[in-house]
Structure 1
Amino acid sequence: MTYNLMREFADSWGLLAMALFFIGCVGFAFRPGGKSNADQAAQIPLKDD
């Protein structure tokens, strides 16, 4: 009983939640003004060299 209930949830609402999370992450990465923050974060390991 529990397995079937969890599987039905994962097939419907769980999949929708994961898709929305993925779209949100992609939107966050490509937002305006994000390039400068990404460039600064990419240079952090090289600052000591």
Structure 2
Amino acid sequence: MSYEAFRQFADSWGLVLMGVAWASFVGWAFLPRNRDRNRASAELIFKDSDHG
């Protein structure tokens, strides 16, 4: 595979693949079964706080 062919493939299907991967990761984060884990992760920075 030449550089030009690889570059054309990456410019077309590579972008599609990255878009599908991004949508999958975002969708995975918003699944209902991940709600408790996401909430715990969001509140982790306040664990050792003296203000609350």
SS of 1:48's equivalent in the other structure is coil
SS of 2:24's equivalent in the other structure is helix
Q: CA deviation at 1:14?
A: 0.3
SS of 1:33's equivalent in the other structure is helix
Amino acid at match of 1:6: F
The residue that corresponds to 2:27 in the other structure is: 27
SS of 1:12's equivalent in the other structure is helix
Structure with higher Rg: it is 2
Distance in 1, Cα, partners of 2:11 & 2:45: 41
Which ranges of structure 2 fall in alignment gaps of 5 or more residues? Answer: none
Which ranges of structure 1 fall in alignment gaps of 5 or more residues? Answer: none
Which consecutive segments of 4 or more residues in structure 1 shift more than 6 A?
Answer: none
Q: CA deviation at 1:47?
A: 0.7
Number of aligned residue pairs? 48
The residue that corresponds to 2:16 in the other structure is: 16
Distance in 1, Cα, partners of 2:34 & 2:22: 17
Q: Higher relative contact order by CA 8 Å / sep ≥ 6: 1 or 2?
A: 2
